[in-house]
């Protein structure tokens, strides 16, 4: 069964620095071949396989303060923003997006939410910054944005089966040709679940989620 994925990227622009989760490949597109999930067919002679693994450095990710879909989504957004230096409370963002401390079964339309959180913020503690969110529906067509985000220490939000996760690590196969061409195939994603209840469930979800 095919699994549906969506990716949310988040940019935060403070008065003194630019923080971005929308990454551009630092590979040269002229000699790269990208793939995402699955297995390659038999490769020509001379190609070399390198097993690769990337994880974010230890970061303090917090689960949703309430067991609701909208609170879990907000917890993921707060985590993405916090990594880049913008600090917000979950309560603050829930109040802004949903008109109060409500609990709903669905966070809502992701494209609409991305537009609604993309704005200037001036918080009571003196923080001033701009959030710019980008939602890409469907599975990514290339592996490099996911790999690069983890290499550069900035997480992405992955929407899988209508559930929001924060991507914290991945494994991938790197096939290198004698000419320097490369194929990247992601074999595994490691995800943090903002809706986790208790440490045991969080560790289980954060450990390894196989993609096939």
Tell me the per-residue pLDDT of 2-13, one tens digit each, with 9 for 90 and over: 344 555 555 544
Directed axis angle between helix 90-98 and helix 110-117, to 10°? 110
Computed over every residue of the chain, the mean pLDDT equals 74
Residue 121 gets the label, from left (phi > 0), alpha (psi -120 to 50) or beta, of: beta
Rounded CA separation 117/114 (Å):
6
Domain residues of the chain, as ranges?
5-210
Tell me the per-residue pLDDT of 33-63, one tens digit each, with 9 for 90 and over: 344 455 556 767 888 999 999 998 877 888 9
Question: pTM of the predicted model, to two decimals?
Answer: 0.74
| 14-28, 74-88, 158-172, range with the lowest pLDDT | 14-28
Rounded CA separation 133/111 (Å):
9
Give the ranges where the chain is alpha helix by DSSP (H).
Answer: 69-83, 90-98, 110-117, 144-151, 198-207
Tell me the per-residue pLDDT of 180-210, one tens digit each, with 9 for 90 and over: 888 888 888 888 899 887 554 444 334 444 3
For residues 137 and 110, is the Cβ–Cβ distance under 8 A?
Answer: yes
93: pLDDT confidence band, cut at 50, 70 and 90?
very high
> Which pLDDT does position 6 carry in this prediction?
54
Which has the closest alpha carbon to 133: 95, 63, 86, 91?
A: 86
């Amino acid at each position: 069964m095919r699994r549906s994925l969506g990716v949310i990227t988040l940019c935060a622009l403070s008065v003194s620095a630019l923080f971005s989760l929308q990454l551009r490949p630092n590979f040269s597109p002229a000699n790269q071949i990208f793939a995402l999930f699955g297995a390659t067919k038999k490769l020509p002679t001379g190609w070399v396989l390198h097993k690769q693994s990337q994880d974010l450095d230890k970061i303090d990710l917090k689960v949703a303060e309430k067991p609701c879909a909208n609170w879990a989504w907000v917890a993921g957004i707060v985590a993405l923003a916090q990594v880049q230096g913008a600090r917000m409370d979950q309560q603050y963002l829930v109040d802004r997006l949903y008109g109060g401390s409500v609990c709903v079964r669905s966070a809502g339309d992701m494209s609409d939410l991305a537009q609604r959180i993309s704005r200037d913020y001036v918080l009571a503690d003196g923080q001033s910054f701009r959030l710019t969110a980008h939602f890409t529906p469907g599975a990514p067509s290339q592996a490099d944005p996911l790999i690069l985000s983890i290499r550069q220490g900035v997480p992405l939000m992955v929407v899988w089966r209508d559930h929001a996760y924060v991507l914290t690590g991945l494994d991938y196969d790197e096939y290198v040709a004698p000419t320097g061409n490369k194929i990247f195939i992601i074999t595994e994603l490691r995800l943090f679940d903002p809706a986790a209840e208790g440490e045991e469930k969080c560790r289980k979800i954060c450990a390894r989620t196989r993609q096939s």
